[in-house]
Structure 1
Amino acid sequence: MNFRKLTLGLALAATTLAGRAHAQAAPSSDPAATPETKLLLANLHRLVSKGTMFGHQDALAYGISQGQMWKGDANRADVKTVSGSYPAVFGWELGHIELDSARNLDGVPFDRMRGYIKQGYEQGAVITISWHLNNPHDGKTAWDTTRTVPYILPGGADHAKYVSYLDRVATFLGSLKGSKGEAIPVIFRPFHEHTGSWFWWGKKECTPEEFKTLWQFSVNYLRKDKKLHNLIIAYSAADFKDEADYLERYPGDAYVDVMGFDDYCNNVPKFRQEMERKLAALLTISQAHHKLPALTEFGYESLPDPTWWTGTMLPLLEKYPVSYALTWRNGDPKHYFAPFPGQPSAANFKQFTQNGKILLEKQIAPLHLYTKTL
């Protein structure tokens, strides 16, 4: 069988399986999850058949206007300025909270982030949080690839230091409260892109068993020791060859709710081909494990293709139903992943968001994902 026929077959099978899988919502991996967390996860499973939620990292904190950065403007987001709606998913980053810093590694104050998260939640959007934590073994950045994991596991020389990192994360996650004092559910995505080797937790930096042990200890500590039951846990790979490669470091169904991967475009034809392969595989794998499929990060830096949204991304997301697709942050006028007014792909992005299978906040807010069953 040639590659194109194989890919098409996988796609059709995966789409059929995904539809069956999400007809009945899978339970949370945390039996003690809060009612809002359980309901959100169940509703996200049901929502997959309706479309893919579009997300943007740091959407409320800053953006780009007329070639300059704006920061901290109330009720502003580049996605909203272009499309007329906030994104359905807001992505945030906890890097440097482990250092007891007032700001994260991208300069967002944690106090403001807490407010942004509450705003998104009360508007009816979904929250996802990543964590590029500094290397607890040598104090360098997350991108330092010194062998570290064995030192921070139970019994390791740096275990206590790593636990102190988790304590600071837990304090922040535990402080996320709605207007009635309820814990705000968040999709927590630790140790992402672990199939690559650019972070200290990467594939060449630790064994599969070490990675699994680190994951299981961390989730257990947050749930059992810190009593956090508002977490939907996301397992997020980078590139992977096949199902076996994707699952090599999988910590088990009791420790994961969302299965996803990150992928960025550098060459459009190659990106399309690889996304076809990986999305088809993801839908098959997630269905087998009864987990929520997601494109946990994606993007095309500076968006040089003015038709990329409808020409590349829309056909992929229509063909392969995933819960959400989160594009990365608009960090500066040369490093951005969502359009803004005047950016060459802005008109095409608006067209993309007008497709019925792309969901923004205005589509999901009326569904009351935290309080009503779809």
Structure 2
Amino acid sequence: MKISNFLLSIMAFGLGMTACGGQSENRLTLREQTSEASAMLEIFTKLPQQRQFMFGHHDDPVYGIGWDGDSARSDVKSVCGDYPAMMSFDLGRIEIYGDKNLDNVSLDRIRQEVVAQYERGGMSSFSWHVDNPVTGKDSWDVSDSTVVKSVLPGGVNHDKFMGWLDKVADYLNSIQTPEGVKVPVLFRPWHEHTGSWFWWGQNLCSTEDYKALWRMTYERMQEKGATQLLYAYSPGTEPKDSVEYLERYPGDDIIDLIGVDAYQFDKEAYVKSLDNALTIMSQVSKAHKKVMAVTETGYETIPDSVWWTQTLMPVIEKYPISYVLVWRNARERENHYYAPYPGHSSADDFLNFYNDSRTLFAGDMKNVK
């Protein structure tokens, strides 16, 4: 069995008490955290210092263009010969179905893929498009502005929602290596809250209630022993400055990584908004000693054949990001994909992006020191 890069890092990293100018020492006195999670954070910290970042893709190994559920397959791997260094998955509807998520992917399969990614030296992240507990509809149902309040302590849906949190914690705790090591993952709930398209969005709850939702989530994960988690805060591009970016920030004691979700519709607007967001994040990263990443991005169908090297790279290369992740290649929706597949018009440019010494894929992670 291949020894993961995280485990190698633990040997060198000890208990993770020296990263980022004492940041880890401060953090670990505030919360219990596994050594594997500390090693993961150390890699996030080191990559920008080495002027490198990981490439990521959502749902990369579980389906793609023209296929579904194939073993050891990946559209990214089919193009460049390697898996992404970062993979993300979603927990949406785990609270309802129990055995699959909102994109009809088996949770058992996701568990297997997260372990496989860890053992090859890569990383995994989880978002959670959780259903609306008031209406029973999906997370995009914003018909009721009392949802967040209803799940907080004293709210009519609090007990139900705590049960949902327990299902998430139990599942994340079940992602273990054959030796029983809990695989460290980046947990990214309550994302894009600076918009108002999710029931936890800007116009659907108060600043205080949003922060309380985050803290309740974090504390329940800790109570359930999910100490292998790192936590990501990822607004959209709406904030115009660091004050707006931090308006609903849940606290340094919870958050490990700050991010942004930014998608291209118009090139000029995309470049401007992503550049502005990364400028703001650089300021926040320095002030709060947090690592940063482009937690979601992409250009649907990638109609620009040189998008990777001529649009994306010129913006992100200027900033100390740990990773950049594009969204999924849907198999059930036509023209809903964000990574190239064999024969796609941007595949050659993606190979140039892959061959850039600054971009890291799964096979590169063993060389991260």
- 3-state secondary structure, aligned to 2:87: strand
1:63-89 deviation per Cα after TM superposition (whole angstroms, max 9, x unaligned): 11xxxx211111111111111111000
CA distance in 2, matches of 1:94, 1:252: 23
Segments ≥4 residues shifted beyond 4 Å = none
**Aligned-residue offset at 1:25:** 6.7
Residue in structure 2 matched with residue 183 of structure 1 by the alignment: 182
Q: What is the aligned partner in structure 2 of residue 346 from structure 1?
A: 347
Q: 1:234 aligns with which of 232, 236, 239?
A: 232
Map 1:178-257 onto structure 2 (within 5 A): 178-223=177-222, 225-239=223-237, 240-257=239-256
Q: CA RMSD in A?
A: 1.5
Q: Choose from 104, 109, 112 the match for 1:107.
A: 104
Deviation at 1:317, TM superposition (A): 2.0
- Are residue 126 (structure 1) and residue 155 (structure 2) matched? no
Cα distance, 1:101 vs structure 2: 3.2
CA separation of 1:25 and 1:90: change in aligned 2, threshold 3 A? farther
Give the Å deviation of 1:321. Answer: 2.1
Letter in 1 for 2:43: N
Give the TM-score taking structure 2 as reference length. 0.90
Hey, what does 2:137 align to over in structure 1? 140
Encode CA deviations 1:266-296: one digit per residue, 9 max, x unaligned: 0111111111111111111111111110100
CA gap of 1:204–1:221, structure 2 versus 1, over 3 A, is: same
For each residue in 1:136-183, what CA deviation from the matched residue of structure 2 results, as whole angstroms up to 9, or x when unmatched?
122111001122011110011110011011011011001010132111
Q: Which digits, 9 at most, give the CA deviation of each residue in 1:315-352, with x for residues without a partner? A: 11211120011100000341000000111111001111
**Gap change, CA 1:22 and 1:222, over 3 Å in 2:** closer
TM-score after normalising by structure 1: 0.89
Point out where structure 1 has 5 or more consecutive residues left out of the alignment: 1-20, 368-373
1:1-374 superposed matches below 5 A: 24=21, 26-27=23-24, 28=27, 31-50=31-50, 51-64=52-65, 69-145=66-142, 146-147=144-145, 148-223=147-222, 225-239=223-237, 240-332=239-331, 333-367=334-368, 374=369
Determine what percentage of the aligned residue pairs are the same residue: 41
Query: How many residues were matched structurally?
Result: 343
**RCO higher in structure (CA 8 A, sep ≥6):** 1
* Alignment check: 8 A CA contact 2:85 2:362 kept: yes
In 1, Cα distance between equivalents of 2:312 and 2:153: 43
Distance 1:302 1:349, change over 3 A: same
Q: 1:319, 1:23 → 2: CA distance?
A: 20
- 1:234-279: CA deviations, max 9, x gaps? 0010121111111110111011001001000001111111111111
CA contact (8 A) 1:59 1:77 kept: yes
Q: Tell me the distance in 1 between the aligned counterparts of 2:259 and 2:322.
A: 10
